[in-house]
Structure 1
Amino acid sequence: MNAPAAVPVDVSTSVPAEVWDLVYRLDSHALPTQSPRWARAITASGGYYDVSRLYAFADGRRAILPLFEGAGGPRKLRSRLSPPSAWGFGGLIASDPLGVAHLSAILDDVIDNTTFRVHVRPNPLEAGLWKAAAGGRWIAVPRLAHVLDLRPGFDKIWAGFRSSTRGQIRKAERAGLDVKSGCEPSLVEAFHGLLMRSVDRWARRQHEPLALARWRARGRDPIDKFNTIAKALGPACQFRVAYHNGEPAAAILVLQERNAHYTRGAMDERLAAPTSANYLLHRLAIEAACNAGCATYHMGETTAGGTLARFKEQFGAVATPYAEYAFERLPLYWLKDRARTTVKRMIGFRDA
């Protein structure tokens, strides 16, 4: 008797690079952080093993779940992550759109092969599918992302920018900014320097002890991480830095392949604010993504109603609710959330 179409007929724990790349290129929603090159960057950075899974279905569909296991501690206590924290979006990519039954079967397999904990941060554009398939065994953590549809083309997108945003861009163009783009070490260094300055600014605004903020940032985003990403992705990794009188004023990191993903931004406020450098950087990145044929420009996670959300919406990005999903043998998420809330209350932390 033939297997039902939505039941995997083959599950592989070793994903050939050429198969991964093919499935990645067939998935219209796929982000650079779901590519085999990104997986190589994660493992090359140290601390994680690639335990990704390839699913083949009777109806011809193939799906890949990028999945990474922490390298430290007893194996039975290691988490499996798609992707690890501060490594963008993970979740499934597929050669053809998946149905609820396909995803449900995959999630059942993930649970059956998880000894301790698994956490998935899927593409926000797949939110409806994940909500329908995850069921009651998965913890759903509500999130919000902003996504700009690039399919109308840059001329229409430019017209859709708020008039005040176009004004800020024109101001930046008059400010004499020198914008450089690429993945050269000098641009990585300039970007990372601005990122560390931004950490200090965010810490002051959030009432977080500066030493704690810097310690967290060094662990989450060391400069070696960005050099590794640049080496793994090559031209798909674009550090765009705006200089004012030779000094780095603002920088963004955009990953660009079939779709574009703005994944980090940083600035020196004393130089960026008067010159509106951030507006110009996004204008250039959006135009470049349109010219490259990208379908979407993902602008990352956002707090609803916050300053960052309003900034992204000025460019036409649409708030996109989604959820992260966790399956745990022990209630770790609840314990970590309680601990995090307690520490924030103790230090008077304020979400920016």
Structure 2
Amino acid sequence: MTPAPYRFQQLSREDFESLAAGHPGVVIPLEQTPYWADFETRLGRDPYGIWAYYDGGKLVATASYLRSRRRLRPSLVVVNGPTWFTERTPEAEARLVATVQEQFRADPAVDPLYVRMQVEHVQPPVAGPLEHGWYEREIVVDLTPDTDKIFAAFRPNARNLIRKAEKLGVEVRAVEREQWADVFRTELFPIMQETAARDGFSSFDSAFYETLLTELGDHLRLMVAYVDGKPVSWLITTEYRGYAVYYFAASSRDARKTNAPYLLLWEAFKILKDAGNTACGLTGIESENYPSLANVTTFKRNFSKTVVTVPTTYDIPLHPLRYRALATALRVRRDAPGLLRRAAARIRRPDAKAGRD
């Protein structure tokens, strides 16, 4: 039996701000706000709007959708959402899934193959995902105790490295906002390039970060660690409604020699606390679908024992037959190289045995 759908309503910026103000205790991810949608627009992407979902007159959830037009798989993506304003039960989530299916199947302006969002209670028709889109576990630092207690809660290794960084002359500065884009482009992006090359990942180009800093400046901080006047490590944090996130960071080889990232993050915690934030999420750590985060996990675990599980991102197919066909094709393409290697190895083994005979 299909669950009864919720009533849904698209929100203007004013509607969203009024709704958020009426629920001060709910953590709303910055990615689920009109301000993040403005940032996506500046990047040339296509936000499709924010909707609220109601059970009668009771607000259940909100979701901000981003339109994706990837070849063969047009979709709507909810980045780090939806935001729940009531208990996230299996029944409530099933109703939201059914509502989203009905909503966008009937929307003449879009024809998505699927809608992608975080789902905690996985049940049909939820599927996939075709690829994972958000981390599943993160470390969270409680900023409500006084600073001495926050520091004392760090692992001994982190406390020692922070003290060593101070003795080695590492200096942490907050960059003036009007200088963010220029400083990032000329001094900090090369550090990101070095970090990406060293750790084996692809970073965004400098324009992405410059746009982030320009468009979301009211919700960001840019802090830099210097050694002998030279920048060696930097971080960008976000802040919204008292919740901060350690969002982007990079460090050079010189930073590692001086333990600068440890002191930089500690100084950031103090500034974020003074600004009224009650917690700071350190973003993703290693999980089943993200084993590549093992290195950053070691660093982040130094600052808190609190590990929060984030609902995994899944797909809600709107055209199930087409979705299954695409999923099969992608799986075959992904598995083909390994199958070919194993087949080649089986072919070579008899030849090797014949040579020994």
Q: Deviation digits for residues 137-167 of structure 1, max 9, x if unmatched?
A: 2236683222223333433221101122111
The match for 1:232 among 190, 204, 215 is 215
**Partner of 2:16: helix, strand, or coil?**
helix
Aligned positions of 1:39-50 closer than 5 A: 39-50=37-48
Normalising to structure 2: TM-score of the pair? 0.76
Aligned positions of 1:186-197 closer than 5 A: 186-189=182-185, 190-197=187-194
1:326 aligns with 2:315: yes
The match for 2:28 among 22, 27, 30 is 30
The match for 1:279 among 262, 283, 287 is 262
1:19 aligns with 2:15: yes
**Partner of 2:11: helix, strand, or coil?**
coil
Q: Is the contact made by 1:48 and 1:71 (CA closer than 8 Å) also made in structure 2?
A: no
Q: Is the contact made by 1:51 and 1:69 (CA closer than 8 Å) also made in structure 2?
A: no
The match for 1:264 among 224, 248, 271 is 248
Offset of 1:340 from its aligned partner? 5.1
Structure 1 segments of 4+ aligned residues over 6 angstroms from their partners: 341-346
Aligned residues: 308
Change (3 A) 1:315 1:104: same
Offset of 1:49 from its aligned partner? 3.0
The match for 1:301 among 284, 294, 308 is 284
**Partner of 1:300: helix, strand, or coil?**
strand
1:345 and 1:224 map into 2 onto residues whose CA distance is 40
1:342 and 1:283 map into 2 onto residues whose CA distance is 46
2:327 and 2:267 map into 1 onto residues whose CA distance is 39
The match for 2:127 among 139, 145, 151 is 139
Change (3 A) 1:66 1:171: same
Q: Deviation digits for residues 280-320 of structure 1, max 9, x if unmatched?
A: 11101222222223232111112158232121111015233
Change (3 A) 1:15 1:315: same
Offset of 1:174 from its aligned partner? 2.0
Normalising to structure 1: TM-score of the pair? 0.77
Q: Is the contact made by 2:11 and 2:51 (CA closer than 8 Å) also made in structure 1?
A: yes
RMSD after superposition: 3.0
Task: List gaps (5 residues or longer) in structure 2.
Answer: 106-111, 341-357
Change (3 A) 1:22 1:58: same
**Partner of 2:152: helix, strand, or coil?**
helix
Change (3 A) 1:274 1:35: same
Change (3 A) 1:100 1:278: same
- In structure 2, the partner of 1:207 is none
**Partner of 1:139: helix, strand, or coil?**
coil
- In structure 2, the partner of 1:250 is 233
Identity %: 19
Change (3 A) 1:336 1:200: farther
Change (3 A) 1:52 1:307: same
Q: Is the contact made by 1:272 and 1:278 (CA closer than 8 Å) also made in structure 2?
A: yes
Q: Is the contact made by 1:20 and 1:64 (CA closer than 8 Å) also made in structure 2?
A: no
Residue type at the aligned position of 2:171: D
- In structure 2, the partner of 1:108 is 98
Change (3 A) 1:172 1:131: same
Task: List gaps (5 residues or longer) in structure 1.
Answer: 1-5, 84-89, 123-129, 204-212, 347-352
**Partner of 1:199: helix, strand, or coil?**
helix
Change (3 A) 1:341 1:161: farther
1:278 and 1:107 map into 2 onto residues whose CA distance is 41
Residue type at the aligned position of 1:170: R
Aligned positions of 1:55-204 closer than 5 A: 55-61=53-59, 63-70=61-68, 77-83=73-79, 90-112=80-102, 113=104, 115-120=112-117, 122=118, 130-132=119-121, 134-139=122-127, 143-182=136-175, 183=177, 184-189=180-185, 190-203=187-200
Change (3 A) 1:161 1:342: farther
Offset of 1:335 from its aligned partner? 5.0
Larger of the two Rg values belongs to structure: 2
Offset of 1:339 from its aligned partner? 4.4
- Between stretches 241-250 and 21-30, larger displacement belongs to 21-30
